[in-house]
A and B are shown apart, each in its own frame.
Chain A
Amino acid sequence: MASLSAGSRYRDVAAWAFTVPGLLFQFFFGWFPILIAFVVGFQRYYFVNPPEFIGWQNFLDVFSDELTWTSFRNTFYFAALSIGLTFLIPIFISILLMEMSSRTIRWMMVLWFIPVASTAGIVIWKYMYQFDMGLMNHIMRLLHLPEQRWLDDPTLAMFSLVLPGLILYGPGLMYIAALQSVPEELYEAAELEGAGFFKKIQTVTLPRLRPVIAMMLIFSVIGAMQAFELPFIMTGGGPGYATTTVVMQVYNMAFNAYNLGKATALAILLFFIIMAMIMVQRRVVRENLDD
């Protein structure tokens, strides 16, 4: 008995020894900064001066700043455009891909997932959108359509950010992984009941994919609502403020205007809006699961 408990104590020590490095990193760089945000958001904080508490002043500043509302409008527009136009694509491409022979699937996937560095991918498109040297206007001329200013056109700029995702359709690794784990028998059973192509998608494939889809939708919403890199590199937020997202505005306030308190207050506002969206989304998905 004594040796057993000594063994389990040793095991406990080992368990913690394995856990502590991750625990520390996750605390300091995962959770702690989120907690700090709720302090800095209530402080007047410029880089050099020591911070002082000023209550809700930062939030009042954020609310009375016209750019706040512009950036929120842009962010919602971007999220709606990008999720509305591109979220479903990888799901259906992945489903269709499964119809190919396994050799074809392998080849297509290798070619599809050839990576380009992400800043490189964005810069390529910026070059394509270039007014007189870019490929997009060349194609427009070939099709006898009017040339566009793309990223420089306030009404077209946001759409131009989303367009590459629409043109470059492809499958998703997560969906493929989920699809491969669906047992063949389910399809055979559906077949025996006389289910055709679409009926099988509806009754077998989609219900099986549902948890992955729900998870990916949450990640997509979190990602799209926090868009930064794509608009920052493609347009720099312009023309004017046509593509300035909330996170870009946070960045501008913090690292151009050096107003860390106000920047963090805006980030907190965005945080709660996204959390509310996730909550609503989970509710809707769960209710759908019941029927």
Chain B
Amino acid sequence: MPLIPQVGRRRLRVRLALLAIAAFLWLGVLLHLFPVAWMASASLKPTREIFEQPFRLWPEEPTVASYRLLFTTVLTSGLNIDTTVFRFPLWVYLQNSVVIAALTVLLQIPVTAMAAYAVSKLHRPSRARWLFYFFIGTLMVPGQIAVVPRFLLLSHFPWPTSAVPDIPFTGLPFPSVSFIGTFWGVVLPAAFNAFNFLLFKGFFDTLPSDLIEAARIDGATELQTLRAVMLPLARPVVAVTTYFAFTAAWNDFLGPWIILMSEQSRWPISVVLYKLQYVLQGWQPSQGSLDPAMQQLVAAGVGYNALMALAVVESIPMFIAFLIFREQLMKGIQIHGLKG
């Protein structure tokens, strides 16, 4: 709209230019949708069609066999734990992902929103400024430096070292707790999110302080003010941040991979998908494989179609979340600068 003026839009040259832009954009949309469609189509192919050349865009005999296989295959024999996926039924992994994502959202949104509200409206300006930088500073710092230390910290929280000091004069070590192999080890580090803090604060900044004053005069406590006055107004931001928190938790791979590696019963689906493609990657149809876990999987009929089916299963909840929060997301997110 802004670059090409409304009045000249009927001229042929302008119309052709607009048409070319539209075609280019629609092509981008199609290219973006193509891998999604390819994934869905491959997941519905019977194993025979996966190898067929030339490829069909849509399976000749669509089947849900791959999905059935995923939900029924459980490999229990004592194979190498490292390469064996599906020692538990798929719904266990799905449930793990749901629990991790739900806990993350339920913890992160209130914690982050309250902090942002306090910094935006309650603290006096000089203090709010320092708190603001404390809260968002980690965004501007390369965070991978913290991966190993965070693992150590989660191993004997709140001590960052295996040499937990003794309580003076007692010879007993200070209490510590290990979050390794538990959902909390994945959820707690996500309990506060600097980016969502920025979104919340940017929004609370736009609300007039008179609203708070009015609520206070009516005798509302600060918590009531936040709950009854601010949060209803903040619904669009709550929607966007919830969507971001959910997708980040659902997509997270490195966190669960490191923290939950030894606990296959708690793996989320992202880790299972990685493991399955890892097992399948050396697999050529012509040559048999020596890896017993792989043989067992292939014998059960698990192939690239099943891999794509698993990718579909992993993506469906994100798609549902997208449909739920679409309106708010499309309204666009407003970030009001990185400066206090």
* A and B found bound together: yes
CB proximity to B under 8 Å, residues A108-132? 108-121, 123-128, 130, 132
Q: How many residues of A contact B (CB 8 A)?
A: 110
Q: Write out the residue numbers on chain B whose beta carbons fall within 8 Å of the beta carbon of A228.
A: 144, 254
Q: In the bound complex, do residue A18 and residue B22 qualify as a contact, i.e. CB atoms below 8 Å apart?
A: no
Bound CA–CA A247/B258 (angstroms): 14
Q: In the bound complex, do residue B277 and residue A37 qualify as a contact, i.e. CB atoms below 8 Å apart?
A: no
Binary contact readout A175-203 vs B (1 if CB under 8 angstroms, 0 otherwise): 01100111010010001000001001100
Binary contact readout A17-36 vs B (1 if CB under 8 angstroms, 0 otherwise): 11101110110111111101
Q: Write out the residue numbers on chain B whose beta carbons fall within 8 Å of the beta carbon of A37.
A: 145-146, 148-149
Q: In the bound complex, do residue A211 and residue B25 qualify as a contact, i.e. CB atoms below 8 Å apart?
A: no
Bound CA–CA A113/B240 (angstroms): 13
Q: Within the complex, which residue of B32, B131, B162, B329 is in contact with A168, where a contact is CB–CB below 8 Å?
A: B32
Interface residues on B, range: 35 or more
A135 contacts chain B at the CB level, 8 A cutoff: yes
Q: In the bound complex, do residue B2 and residue A182 qualify as a contact, i.e. CB atoms below 8 Å apart?
A: yes
Q: In the bound complex, do residue B35 and residue A29 qualify as a contact, i.e. CB atoms below 8 Å apart?
A: no
Q: Which residue of B lies closest to A215 (CB)?
A: B338
Q: In the bound complex, do residue A25 and residue B145 qualify as a contact, i.e. CB atoms below 8 Å apart?
A: no
Bound CA–CA A160/B157 (angstroms): 41
Bound CA–CA A177/B328 (angstroms): 12
B208 contacts chain A at the CB level, 8 A cutoff: no
Bound CA–CA A178/B140 (angstroms): 20
- A47–chain B nearest beta-carbon distance, Å: 8
CB proximity to A under 8 Å, residues B124-174? 131, 134-135, 137-138, 140-153, 157-158, 160-163
Q: In the bound complex, do residue B314 and residue A117 qualify as a contact, i.e. CB atoms below 8 Å apart?
A: yes
Q: In the bound complex, do residue B4 and residue A99 qualify as a contact, i.e. CB atoms below 8 Å apart?
A: yes
Q: Write out the residue numbers on chain A whose beta carbons fall within 8 Å of the beta carbon of B160.
A: 32-33, 36, 39-40
Bound CA–CA A60/B29 (angstroms): 50
Q: Write out the residue numbers on chain B whose beta carbons fall within 8 Å of the beta carbon of A81.
A: none
B18 contacts chain A at the CB level, 8 A cutoff: yes
A163 contacts chain B at the CB level, 8 A cutoff: no
Q: Write out the residue numbers on chain A whose beta carbons fall within 8 Å of the beta carbon of B21.
A: 96, 99-100
A76 contacts chain B at the CB level, 8 A cutoff: no
- A116–chain B nearest beta-carbon distance, Å: 5
- A141–chain B nearest beta-carbon distance, Å: 9
Q: In the bound complex, do residue B253 and residue A114 qualify as a contact, i.e. CB atoms below 8 Å apart?
A: no
CB proximity to B under 8 Å, residues A237-269? 247, 250-251, 254-255, 260, 263-264, 267-268
- B159–chain A nearest beta-carbon distance, Å: 10
Binary contact readout B298-320 vs A (1 if CB under 8 angstroms, 0 otherwise): 00000010011011101100110
- A169–chain B nearest beta-carbon distance, Å: 5
Q: Which residues of B contact A (CB under 8 A)?
A: 1-5, 18, 21-22, 24-26, 28-29, 31-33, 35-36, 38-39, 42, 50-51, 53-55, 111-112, 114-115, 117-119, 122-123, 131, 134-135, 137-138, 140-153, 157-158, 160-163, 188-189, 191-192, 194, 197, 221-223, 226, 247, 250-251, 253-254, 258, 261, 269-270, 273-274, 277-278, 281, 284-285, 304, 307-308, 310-312, 314-315, 318-319, 321-322, 326, 329-330, 332-335, 337-338
Can you spell out 30 A-B residue pairs with CB atoms less than 8 angstroms apart?
Answer: A19-B119, A19-B131, A21-B115, A22-B111, A22-B197, A25-B191, A26-B192, A28-B158, A29-B188, A33-B146, A34-B146, A93-B28, A102-B1, A108-B26, A114-B36, A114-B322, A115-B319, A115-B321, A118-B253, A128-B35, A128-B38, A168-B28, A173-B333, A174-B333, A176-B332, A222-B142, A226-B143, A255-B261, A260-B148, A267-B147
Known: A29-B150, A113-B330. 6 other contacts (CB 8 A): A21-B115, A101-B1, A117-B270, A127-B42, A177-B332, A222-B143
